[in-house]
Structure 1
Amino acid sequence: MPNAVGFVDNSTMLAHYKMLEKIRDFTSSNGWTVLRYDAVSANRELILQGPGLSGDQQIFIGFRTYQDVASDYYNLVVAGFTGYVAGNTFDTQPGAVLSGIPAHNQRIDYWLTLNGNRIALGLKVGTPVYEHVYAGYGLTRTLPSQYPYPLVIGGMLNGVPAVRFSDTGHSFPYRGTRSGQTANLRLRFNSGAWLQTDTWPWNAPVLAGTTQLRDTGANYPILPIILMDANGMYCELDGIFYISGFDNVTENTFIIAGINYVVLQDVGRNGFTDYIAMRLDA
């Protein structure tokens, strides 16, 4: 599956509307099914069905916009569902869980990648800061019959609050409960609950706390991000990795086994533990 790197602006419509259109065009051209696309309402909507890596799965996710001119925020929402009902509103789709993503009405630079399992997205907006999205399956170590719907939804906010990109409190979802805003990373469990989990290696102080990884001869290790809690490990994120910020810079790129990766930071933070590497699927 491919990736797309570029930008949208407000030359034909507000940039966050254009970003939604870009997600629609990119996903529909690369194996995902568009179940709903509303480009007329103030809060525009996109609901998608993914095929999974097997090609016969039904993975339901969505994106929409929300904005307020007076407060100068123009945001996106990422959502996960357990099904699709044509007569339901976006927010009342089966099993809906939503997380906002501060965006912009002017220029948005983006890194967008997908496969049959999931969509991952990085945005550069405003001053600039970097916003993140993960929507789709995590990678499990179980049979499909044991864990049939390991849906992970990661945005930047707990629900859809009126938060502008300039807010200094929001954080990328990959820290899990370490972020202090745990509801921006949610995992659908077999019980039907949306779990709020911890993540490795952010829960390992020797790797991402009191000490930190460093490069070796300008070579950086990348570590899987594993969702876990006191009951055990559930899954790891597909194509998103922990990478040290030591002597590192956001938007750096590197290649492993012929695959490109991009380094992105957590909003405006630039400490040793504030970076991820996103695989740009080819």
Structure 2
Amino acid sequence: MACTVGSANNVLALLKGVVSFLIDSSNFDTGKNWTLLTPASVDAITSSTGVILKGVGDGDDEIYVGMKMSAATTGKTTESVNILLNGYAGYDSGLGWAEQPGAISLDKLPVIPLVDATHMTYWISANSSRFIIMVELSTQYEGAYLGLFTPIAIENQYPYPLLIGGSYYADGAWTDSSTDHGMFTHPGTGINSSVAIRRPDGAWRYCKRETLGDLNMWPTNISPEDTLTVLDDVLTLENVIMYPFLMYENNPVGMIGQLDGVYWIGNREDLATKDSVVYEGSSYKIFNNVSERDKDSYFAVLWS
């Protein structure tokens, strides 16, 4: 697991910092770092340049994801800048950022909604199959999950379980306070979503925080604030219970898979964002859903 904490004073610097960390071979096991396919170098990244990265997964995989800066247009302030997120089934150097093979075909892309020209702290938790970005923006948190999730399927039944999740969708701004402004762990319930999943048939589908939607994110779609999350009456930072984020479909009916290295953790009045908990010998960093501080708004990201 490759993890780091960094800071940036604008969105472009944040994007460059994330890419620099992911492609640095010293942060990963041999041959497991991400590869920058476009542009040619981190220095060549600009506010209008689309970034495309390739991950290798277990070594034989080809995982293609993209990031690109874009101004927000809804509920915006003049400083609102989003990082658009995308996923692909391949890479063609002759095609643009949005036209790559298998690019997300849904109405609006997931984004990390940010504000430019301000100080931001960010966290990255990465392996060779996916990376998670969390950004502290004023008193709220924005974030993204790009890469493979863990499918519930027999071998080769789900060959490319790709998930691209942000904390809002394209055109929305960090100042928006609607329920659709939700982390990839807590996607909204509107027409669009902050989470897009590539199904086994290659089609993209939004994942939402609904009970009977086409594709749902559990347990945050059932308001699980009263769920038991400690092993005994005396809470410590080592005896918490964490639940996997599961995705399931109602059309057709079936389990899809779970997020990798991200768990729901409830009833957290006794823990704070950026605290660490230990679960089965591994350390996790605690974050909350954007600006929400309710009992079911917290989740844990694998840190070591």
Q: TM-score range by the shorter chain?
A: 0.7 to 0.9
Q: Does 1:255 align with 2:278?
A: yes
Q: Residue 19 of structure 1: SS of its match in structure 2?
A: helix
Q: Could you tell me how far 1:109 is from its partner in structure 2?
A: 0.8
Structure 2 unaligned segments of length 5 or more: list them: 207-214
**Alignment correspondent of 1:12:** none
Structure 1 unaligned segments of length 5 or more: list them: 10-14
Q: Could you tell me how far 1:181 is from its partner in structure 2?
A: 5.8
TM (norm. structure 1) is 0.87
Q: Counterpart of 2:55 in structure 1: which amino acid?
A: G
Q: Could you tell me how far 1:278 is from its partner in structure 2?
A: 0.5
- Contact residue 72 and residue 164 of structure 1 kept, 8 A: no
Q: Residue 87 of structure 1: SS of its match in structure 2?
A: coil
**Alignment correspondent of 2:242:** 222
Q: Residue 168 of structure 2: SS of its match in structure 1?
A: coil
**Aligned positions of 1:38-187 closer than 5 A:** 39=44, 41-52=46-57, 54-67=58-71, 71-97=78-104, 98-105=109-116, 106-125=118-137, 127-158=138-169, 160-161=170-171, 163-169=172-178, 170-176=181-187, 179-180=189-190, 182-187=192-197
Q: Find the aligned partners of 2:128 and 2:45 in 1 and give their Cα distance.
A: 28
Moved more, 241-250 or 15-24: 241-250
TM (norm. structure 2) is 0.81
Q: Counterpart of 1:36 in structure 2: which amino acid?
A: T
Q: Find the aligned partners of 1:107 and 1:43 in 2 and give their Cα distance.
A: 21
CA RMSD of the aligned region, Å?
Answer: 2.1
Q: Residue 220 of structure 1: SS of its match in structure 2?
A: coil
Q: Find the aligned partners of 1:60 and 1:4 in 2 and give their Cα distance.
A: 22
**Aligned positions of 1:231-250 closer than 5 A:** 231-247=253-269, 248-250=271-273
Q: Find the aligned partners of 1:80 and 1:67 in 2 and give their Cα distance.
A: 20
- Contact residue 268 and residue 298 of structure 2 kept, 8 A: no
Q: Could you tell me how far 1:132 is from its partner in structure 2?
A: 1.6
- Contact residue 111 and residue 165 of structure 2 kept, 8 A: no
Q: Find the aligned partners of 1:89 and 1:195 in 2 and give their Cα distance.
A: 22
Moved more, 133-142 or 246-255: 246-255
Change over 3 Å in CA distance of 1:155–1:130 after alignment to 2: same
- Contact residue 59 and residue 136 of structure 1 kept, 8 A: yes
Q: Find the aligned partners of 1:173 and 1:130 in 2 and give their Cα distance.
A: 12
- Contact residue 81 and residue 115 of structure 2 kept, 8 A: yes
Work out which of the residue numbers 20, 23, 29 in structure 1 matches 2:18. Answer: 23
Equivalent residues, number: 268
